[in-house]
C-alpha cells in the first residue's frame, strides 16, 4: 500500500471574482520510507500541495489517500487525530512558542493531545539526544540559533513517532552549513525510524538527500526523478 496516494488533484484559489488554477491534475505515489523533495519555481504551488497532503487545506478536486484512508472521507475529528499522531510538520520559520522552554515546545503536541506527560519523559530525553540539545532543554527559543530552533521544531514533529514528516523549506532560513546539518538530521530520521519524509525545497543540493524528486511547473508535474545516488551520511 502507498503511504500517500494523490489522484488527479486540483486546487483553484479565487481572488475576488477571478479564479486561479494552482494545481492541475497532479497524481503521484509516495511509499513508506521514501524521502521525497518537491521542487519548482516560486508560486508554482509547492506549499499548497504540501498543506493539502497534510490535511491543512482541501483540494478543489481529486483524491488524497494516506495509508489507504481517503482524507476527504474522514470526519474533522478523525482528520485532526491523524494530523496530530501520524504526521509531523516542520516549517521554514520554526513556529515555536517563544516563551516556552525547549522541553515544553517539544512536548506541546502531547500537552495539546491531553496525554499523560510522565510516559514521555524517556522519549523526551531520547529526542533531545537525537537533536543534540540536551544542554539547552530549559532555554527558550530566543536563546537559540536558527539551526537549533529548527532542531527543536523537528523534535516536536517527532514526538508522536509519526509515520510521515512534511517539511516546507525547512532550511530556507538557514545558512548553508546549518542547512546541511538539518538535512543530515532528516536523513538520519528517515533511515533510523523509517519515517517517510516529504520536503519542499529550493535547494538542489538538499533535494538530493532524498530518493525521489518531484518537479512542479505551471500546476503540473514536469518530471519525477528517482535519485540514484542520494547523499549519504
Ligand atoms: N489562500 C490563498 N488564496 C489565494 N491564493 C493563494 C492562496 N494560497 C496560495 N495562493 C496562490 O497560489 C499560488 C501558489 O502558492 P504556493 O504558496 O503554494 O507557492 P510555492 O510554490 O510554495 O511558492 P514559494 O516557493 O514562493 O513558497 C500562488 O500564486 C499564491 O499566490
Ligand atoms: Mg512555499
Q: Is the predicted pLDDT of residue 158 greater than 90, yes or no?
A: yes
What the block records as the C-alpha cell of 6 is: 494523490
Ligand 1 touching residue 201 (CB < 6 A): no
Region 18-43 average pLDDT: 97
pLDDT score recorded for residue 36: 98
5 located within any domain: no
pLDDT score recorded for residue 115: 79
Assign 80 a pLDDT band (cuts: 50, 70, 90).
Answer: confident
193 located within any domain: yes
Region 145-170 average pLDDT: 95
176 located within any domain: yes
What the block records as the C-alpha cell of 121 is: 519523559
Ligand 1, atom nearest to 200 Cα? 22
CA of 43 to the centre of ligand 2 (A): 7
What is the pTM assigned to this prediction? 0.95
Average pLDDT, the chain: 94
Ligand 1 touching residue 216 (CB < 6 A): no
pLDDT score recorded for residue 101: 97
26 located within any domain: no
pLDDT score recorded for residue 227: 94
pLDDT score recorded for residue 165: 98
Assign 164 a pLDDT band (cuts: 50, 70, 90).
Answer: very high
CA of 7 to the centre of ligand 1 (A): 21
Region 96-125 average pLDDT: 91
189 located within any domain: yes
Q: Are 76 and 12 in contact (CB under 8 A)?
A: no
Assign 35 a pLDDT band (cuts: 50, 70, 90).
Answer: very high
Place of cell 518537491: 38
Region 6-30 average pLDDT: 96
Assign 118 a pLDDT band (cuts: 50, 70, 90).
Answer: confident
Ligand 1 touching residue 16 (CB < 6 A): no
pLDDT score recorded for residue 230: 80
**pLDDT tens-digit profile of 167-195?**
999 999 999 999 999 999 999 999 999 99
Region 112-134 average pLDDT: 90
CA of 47 to the centre of ligand 2 (A): 4
CA of 40 to the centre of ligand 2 (A): 10
CA of 123 to the centre of ligand 1 (A): 36
Instruction: Among 26, 37, 38, 45, say which to mutate for ligand 1: greatest number of ligand atoms within 8 Å of CB.
Output: 45
Rounded percentage of the chain residues whose pLDDT exceeds 70: 100
Q: Is 202 exposed, middle or buried (0-12, 13-18, 19+ CB in 10 A)?
A: middle
pLDDT score recorded for residue 104: 96
The protein residue whose alpha carbon is closest to atom 14 in ligand 1 is: 45
pLDDT score recorded for residue 22: 97
Q: Which residues surround ligand 2, an ion (CB under 5 A)?
A: 47
Q: Are 107 and 100 in contact (CB under 8 A)?
A: no
pLDDT score recorded for residue 233: 74
Ligand 1 touching residue 219 (CB < 6 A): no
The protein residue whose alpha carbon is closest to atom 28 in ligand 1 is: 43
| Complete edge-to-edge strand list for the sheet that includes strand 4-15 | 18-30, 4-15, 61-66, 69-70
CA of 1 to the centre of ligand 1 (A): 30
CATH number of 155's domain: 3.40.50.300
Q: How many domains does the chain have?
A: 1
- What domain range includes position 102? 34-44+75-226
For residue 59, CA distances in Å to 118, 203, 219 come to 39, 27, 13
Question: How far is 117 from 20, CA to CA, in rounded Å?
Answer: 45
pLDDT score recorded for residue 85: 83
Residue 134 CA from chain centroid, whole number: 23
Amino acid at each position: 500500500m502507498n503511504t500517500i496516494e494523490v489522484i488527479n488533484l486540483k486546487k483553484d484559489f479565487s481572488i475576488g471574482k477571478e479564479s486561479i488554477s494552482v494545481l492541475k491534475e497532479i497524481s503521484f505515489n509516495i511509499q513508506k520510507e521514501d524521502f521525497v523533495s518537491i521542487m519548482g519555481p516560486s508560486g508554482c504551488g509547492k506549499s499548497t500541495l504540501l498543506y493539502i497532503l497534510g490535511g491543512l487545506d482541501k483540494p478543489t478536486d481529486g483524491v488524497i489517500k494516506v495509508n489507504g484512508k481517503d482524507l476527504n472521507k474522514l470526519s474533522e475529528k478523525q482528520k485532526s487525530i491523524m494530523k496530530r499522531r501520524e504526521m509531523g510538520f516542520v516549517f521554514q520559520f520554526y513556529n515555536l512558542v517563544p516563551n516556552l522552554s525547549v522541553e515544553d515546545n517539544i512536548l506541546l503536541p502531547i500537552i495539546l493531545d491531553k496525554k499523560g506527560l510522565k510516559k514521555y519523559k524517556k522519549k523526551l530525553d531520547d529526542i533531545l539526544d537525537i537533536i543534540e540539545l540536551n544542554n539547552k532543554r530549559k532555554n527558550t527559543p530566543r536563546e537559540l540559533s536558527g539551526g537549533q530552533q529548527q532542531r527543536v521544531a523537528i523534535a516536536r514533529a517527532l514526538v508522536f513517532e509519526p509515520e510521515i514528516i512534511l517539511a516546507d523549506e525547512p532550511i530556507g532560513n538557514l545558512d548553508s552549513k546549518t542547512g546541511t546539518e538539518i538535512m543530515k538530521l532528516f536523513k538520519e530520521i528517515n533511515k533510523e525510524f523509517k519515517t517517510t519524509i516529504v520536503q519542499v525545497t529550493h535547494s538542489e543540493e538538499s533535494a538530493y538527500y532524498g530518493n525521489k524528486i518531484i518537479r512542479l511547473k505551471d500546476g503540473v508535474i514536469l518530471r519525477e526523478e528517482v535519485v540514484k545516488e542520494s547523499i549519504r551520511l
